[in-house]
Amino acid sequence: MSTETELMLKGYGLTTAEMTYHMPDYPHVLNTYVWQDYDLAPDHARLLKFIGFWRETLEGPLHSVRFTHRKLIAPGEWRNVVGEFHYH
């Protein structure tokens, strides 16, 4: 098992998914679940594995899945600052 830093250095980024699903006892009521893990874009193998687990194991059928992916280690952003503010 790799540490988070090792995963980020290998190109993994943080994937956050919001899963909207039907409540098992009340199928007309929707609820949400937020899931996060380090994953590789564009395949998102870990996210797809979790969605497969959800479909096979959990009773609440998925309505929709929204996700975002962000690499946390990236080249630094540099900008030239012209001007200075002074406080008393």
Provide the 8-state DSSP code for 60.
Answer: S
Residues belonging to the chain = 88
pLDDT band at 1 (very low <50, low <70, confident <90, very high): low
Q: What is the pLDDT of residue 26?
A: 95
pTM over 0.85: no
How do residues 46-79 score in pLDDT, each as one tens digit?
999 999 999 999 999 999 999 999 987 766 666 6
Query: What's the rounded Cα separation, in Å, for the pair 76 and 18?
Result: 29
Average pLDDT over the chain, rounded to an integer: 88
Over residues 2-20, the mean pLDDT reads 90
pLDDT score of 13 more than 80: yes
**Cβ distance 54 to 24 under 8 Å?**
no
Phi, psi of 32 (to 5 degrees): -125, 155
